[in-house]
Chains A and B, each alone.
Chain A
Amino acid sequence: MKKLIGSIALSLAMIFAAGAASAADKLKIGFIYVGPIGDHGWSYQHDQGRLAIEKELGDKVETVFVEKVAEGPDAERAIERLARQGAGLIFTTSFGFMNPTLKVAKRFPKVKFEHATGFKRSKNVATYNARFYEGRYIIGQIAAKMSKSGVAGYIASFPIPEVVMGINSFILGAQTINPNFKLKVIWVNSWFDPGKEADAAKVLIGQGADIVTQHTDSTAPLQIAADKGALGFGQASDMIKFAPKAQLTSIVDNWAPYYVRRTKAVLDGSWKSSNAWDGLAQGTVEMAAYTNMPSDVAAMAKKTQAMITSGKLHPFTGPLYKQDGSLALADGKVMDDGTLSGMNWYVKGVDGDLPK
């Protein structure tokens, strides 16, 4: 019996030794996802980025991931596990992983960490996010052009700056077309709850919105819009196959260019901690095909997209007024990134109060 256990242990040890040897010359890249990769939204898009690394860099890299990691004490263990497994680069893809990432990074100074949507950095922790608000400005314009009722519905997740700036950008875009454009917002208090998002979409359409947009991840609102004869926009990925007759366009998260770039930086030794906030220009934010709209609207959207991409247009350019009418940004000024990333007020034109 003892012999048997001994031989099993030996063979196991050999398996692991073999695994370690082949892994040594590859860069191991770890990913921590907050959701299941099957959410077809946030985590799914990050996983697409992971697959892009594998495709682009082939046998130079090896990727591993842990999905459905709760934001809390479990996160630190999951991240540390990847570091202990020999990962040289680790992407932690949700805001709630910020402090656990920093803690593990301190213990593993040689490992490079990339934290999405956070604001704390260190020597081996970089942060990255995408300027999704650029896309929201474009869809705001499209919404104002396409809406007959002049009212759009917005399904929002949580009142954090990221979401608030999206709402503001949307209405600012819409106001360039129709100064009286109205926006109704429902907070569903979740990033991902298809049933609730669907219900919210129905309520918004019932209250006169003929355009539905969302800052939540499921395809449900778009499907409801299609069902009720309204129009809508996709979120995170191209959702056209869920609503071929209703999706106008979609703001697509494309993490692949950033992930590949950072991986190459680690491979050639040029990686440095930085704060990346990429947008349309770098390809991190992409617009899906403009569909279900007349060609003049599509042309307008393409023009706006080109202007934002080239830097000629910034959605948050003064004069900007807050909801109460006070001046938030002087005429001709462009909002700096610091103010933008801490935004906690609505611009003029949004219906209702921002939950505090």
Chain B
Amino acid sequence: MGALEAVILTIITASTPLLLAAIGELVTERSGVLNLGVEGMMIMGAVCGFATAYTSGSAMLGVAAGLLAGVVMSMLFAFLTQTLMTSQVATGLSLTLLGLGLSGLIGEAFTGLPGVKLTVLDIPFLSDIPFIGPILFGHDILVYASLAIPLGVAYVLFRTRLGLIITAVGGNHHSAHALGYNVIRVRYGCIAFGGACSGLAGAYLSLAYTPQWIENMSSGRGWIALALVVFSTWLPKRLMIGAYLFGTVWIMGLYVQALGVAIPAQLLSSLPYLVTIVALIIISGNKTLTKVNTPACIGQPFAPER
């Protein structure tokens, strides 16, 4: 295996969970809801995915369980913020707190057990082509999903009626309501989608990235996913670029070290965050990029006037 090939493969695995969680949050935010509980949903996806896969022996069942766990968590958030109209910021943060605790509790019985690894989809002939084979055709189903979902989301958002409704609800919920759309119901749906994707991201961590259950194994990836959404200016295709860029910076920090370059490890570790900030500045500075796509109602509760 060549060095370049290894680096590219590493970048793909590092970017996949970020991309999965971020595309879900992108849809949630498009509908005007800010869910800061990504980390909590992700970790619940990880633990439920692992527990199910371990008990049943089937990694695919684990993936399904992870997805379901994310949805359940997100519904808790949706009930509070949409039905009871609590603060989205506070509820999201509480969701993260709850998820981290609950996952630890569920996972207690599953610590220190070797997990079930999600198998690579072996495509005859294609997977065997040198260099291109492993990079393009040597992955598990979640890696392909992480690429397919953003493309699907892009199609739905910009090419279908549903996409228009979501954008309208996020842009101006009062007009959307006046037009007869059920704002709350649309948002419930988008929050559920966000939860499902975060759950998948978690399942990827515990079934593919490092196939085992470890407390706090999401280690801040949920927050990075949130940053990526803004970085993408709520555009799915740009989100894919962003996630891979972030994965690249992340891996390059390690790569440079292994080459023996003497830079403090802390500086290398902080690079991804600094790069995100710089990217945010560049993108935010460009008004045409942001203004068009930013959901105007983000974070605001909606109560229909009576």
A–B direct touch, CB within 8 Å, in complex? yes
A208 to B265, CA, bound (A): 21
Q: Is A245 an interface residue (CB 8 A)?
A: no
Query: Is A198 within 8 A of B258, CB to CB?
Result: no
Among B219, B261, B265, find the residue whose CB has the most chain A CB atoms closer than 10 A. B265
Surface stretch bound by A, among B74-82, B190-198, B204-212, B231-239: B204-212
Query: Is B107 within 8 A of A202, CB to CB?
Result: no
Shortest beta-carbon distance, A202 to chain B, in Å? 4
Query: Is B212 within 8 A of A223, CB to CB?
Result: yes
Query: Is B114 within 8 A of A186, CB to CB?
Result: no
Among A195, A196, A207, A352, the residue within 8 A (CB) of B3 is A207
Q: Is A7 an interface residue (CB 8 A)?
A: no
Among B211, B214, B217, B269, find the residue whose CB has the most chain A CB atoms closer than 10 A. B214
CB nearest to B269 among chain A residues: A189
Query: Is B219 within 8 A of A193, CB to CB?
Result: yes
Q: Is A345 an interface residue (CB 8 A)?
A: no
Query: Is A223 within 8 A of B107, CB to CB?
Result: no
CB neighbours of A184 from chain B (8 A):
258, 260
Query: Is A39 within 8 A of B7, CB to CB?
Result: no
Query: Is A195 within 8 A of B269, CB to CB?
Result: no
Q: Is A36 an interface residue (CB 8 A)?
A: yes
Q: Is A241 an interface residue (CB 8 A)?
A: yes
CB neighbours of B269 from chain A (8 A):
189
A228 to B9, CA, bound (A): 12
A198 to B208, CA, bound (A): 11
CB nearest to B211 among chain A residues: A223
Contact count A vs B, C-beta below 8 Å? 111
Q: Is A116 an interface residue (CB 8 A)?
A: no
Among A203, A220, A223, the residue within 8 A (CB) of B251 is A203
Query: Is B10 within 8 A of A203, CB to CB?
Result: yes
Query: Is A195 within 8 A of B205, CB to CB?
Result: yes
Query: Is A194 within 8 A of B210, CB to CB?
Result: yes
A185 to B258, CA, bound (A): 6
Q: Is B6 an interface residue (CB 8 A)?
A: yes
Shortest beta-carbon distance, A32 to chain B, in Å? 17
Q: Is B275 an interface residue (CB 8 A)?
A: no
Query: Is B260 within 8 A of A38, CB to CB?
Result: no
CB neighbours of B210 from chain A (8 A):
194-195, 198, 218-220, 223
A127 to B64, CA, bound (A): 49
A199 to B10, CA, bound (A): 7
Query: Is B262 within 8 A of A200, CB to CB?
Result: no
Query: Is A203 within 8 A of B214, CB to CB?
Result: no
Query: Is B104 within 8 A of A36, CB to CB?
Result: yes
Q: Is A40 an interface residue (CB 8 A)?
A: yes
Q: For chain B, residues 211 to 268, give those with C-beta under 8 angstroms from any C-beta of chain A.
A: 211-212, 214-217, 219, 221, 250-251, 254-255, 257-262, 264-266
Q: Is A89 an interface residue (CB 8 A)?
A: no
CB neighbours of A207 from chain B (8 A):
3, 6, 255, 258-259
Interface residue tally for chain A (C-beta within 8 Å): 40
Q: Is B95 an interface residue (CB 8 A)?
A: no
Query: Is B10 within 8 A of A202, CB to CB?
Result: yes
Query: Is B212 within 8 A of A353, CB to CB?
Result: no
CB neighbours of A186 from chain B (8 A):
254, 257-258
Query: Is B265 within 8 A of A203, CB to CB?
Result: no
Q: Is A153 an interface residue (CB 8 A)?
A: yes
Query: Is B262 within 8 A of A206, CB to CB?
Result: no
Query: Is A44 within 8 A of B112, CB to CB?
Result: yes
Q: For chain A, residues 207 to 252, give those with C-beta under 8 angstroms from any C-beta of chain B.
A: 207-208, 218-220, 223, 228, 237, 241-242
CB neighbours of B10 from chain A (8 A):
199, 202-203, 206
CB neighbours of A202 from chain B (8 A):
6, 9-10, 13
Query: Is B7 within 8 A of A203, CB to CB?
Result: yes
Q: Is A351 an interface residue (CB 8 A)?
A: yes
CB neighbours of A188 from chain B (8 A):
254, 265
A194-B217 contact, Cβ under 8 Å, with A200-B254, A242-B212: yes
Among A206, A223, A355, the residue within 8 A (CB) of B1 is A206
A5 to B210, CA, bound (A): 52
Query: Is A205 within 8 A of B212, CB to CB?
Result: no
A189 to B211, CA, bound (A): 22
As a 0/1 sequence over residues 335 to 356 of chain A, the CB contacts with chain B under 8 angstroms (1 = contact) are 0000000000000000111011
Among A38, A187, A206, A237, the residue within 8 A (CB) of B265 is A187
As a 0/1 sequence over residues 288 to 305 of chain A, the CB contacts with chain B under 8 angstroms (1 = contact) are 000000000000000000
A187 to B221, CA, bound (A): 20
Shortest beta-carbon distance, B235 to chain A, in Å? 27
CB neighbours of A356 from chain B (8 A):
264
Query: Is A242 within 8 A of B114, CB to CB?
Result: yes
CB nearest to B7 among chain A residues: A206
CB nearest to B6 among chain A residues: A206
Query: Is A38 within 8 A of B214, CB to CB?
Result: yes
Query: Is A199 within 8 A of B250, CB to CB?
Result: yes
A219-B212 contact, Cβ under 8 Å, with A194-B217, A203-B6: yes
Among B114, B219, B261, B265, the residue within 8 A (CB) of A195 is B219
CB neighbours of B261 from chain A (8 A):
352
Q: Is B71 an interface residue (CB 8 A)?
A: no
A194-B114 contact, Cβ under 8 Å, with A38-B107, A203-B10: no
Closest 3 CB pairs of A and B: A206-B6, A352-B260, A353-B262
Please, could you name 18 A-B residue pairs with CB atoms under 8 Å apart, sorted by A? A38-B108, A40-B112, A44-B112, A185-B258, A186-B257, A187-B257, A189-B265, A189-B269, A195-B205, A195-B210, A202-B9, A203-B10, A206-B5, A218-B214, A219-B210, A220-B210, A223-B210, A241-B114
Other CB < 8 Å A-B pairs besides A38-B104, A186-B258, A203-B255, 7 of them? Answer: A36-B104, A40-B214, A196-B219, A198-B209, A200-B254, A202-B6, A353-B260
B residues sitting closer than 8 Å to A (CB atoms) are 1, 3, 5-7, 9-10, 13-14, 104, 107-108, 111-114, 205, 209-212, 214-217, 219, 221, 250-251, 254-255, 257-262, 264-266, 269
